[in-house]
Amino acid sequence: MPSKRETILAALHGRLQTLAAPVLRGDVLPERIPATGLIILRDGKPGEPEVTLSPLTYFYEHRAELEVVIQASTGRDALFDTLTADIGAALTSDR
């Protein structure tokens, strides 16, 4: 059974798959970038927990990272803005 962390990261990856740009998870940057751009999901690290003592509970703040790569000779800024807006819309549509 996958951990809660892996379940959440897989759901995030699945949500990002609906975008026009291809989404990789934890891969290295390929030599060729598609014309629509490329998104790489990095799993990140959970970091140090915050602890409460009554009852003893550990709280982790896990931050995943997205690398958005655009390789275009013209319209790069507009394509980047569109892609990041699409990412924001996809994430806010189903938190």
User: What are the residue ranges of helices labelled H in the chain?
Assistant: 4-16, 76-93
Q: What is the pLDDT of residue 24?
A: 95
Token output for 1: 């059974």
pTM of the model: 0.83
Strand 38-42 to 23-25 pairing: parallel
Instruction: Give pLDDT tens digits for 29-83.
Output: 999 999 999 999 999 887 888 999 989 999 888 889 999 999 988 888 999 999 9
Domain hosting residue 39, numbered range: 4-93
Q: What is the pLDDT of residue 93?
A: 86
- pLDDT class for 28, splitting at 50, 70, 90? very high
**33 close to 70: Cβ distance less than 8 angstroms:** yes
Sign of CA dihedral 77, 19, 28, 6: positive
pLDDT at 95 over 80: no
Number of domains in the chain: 1
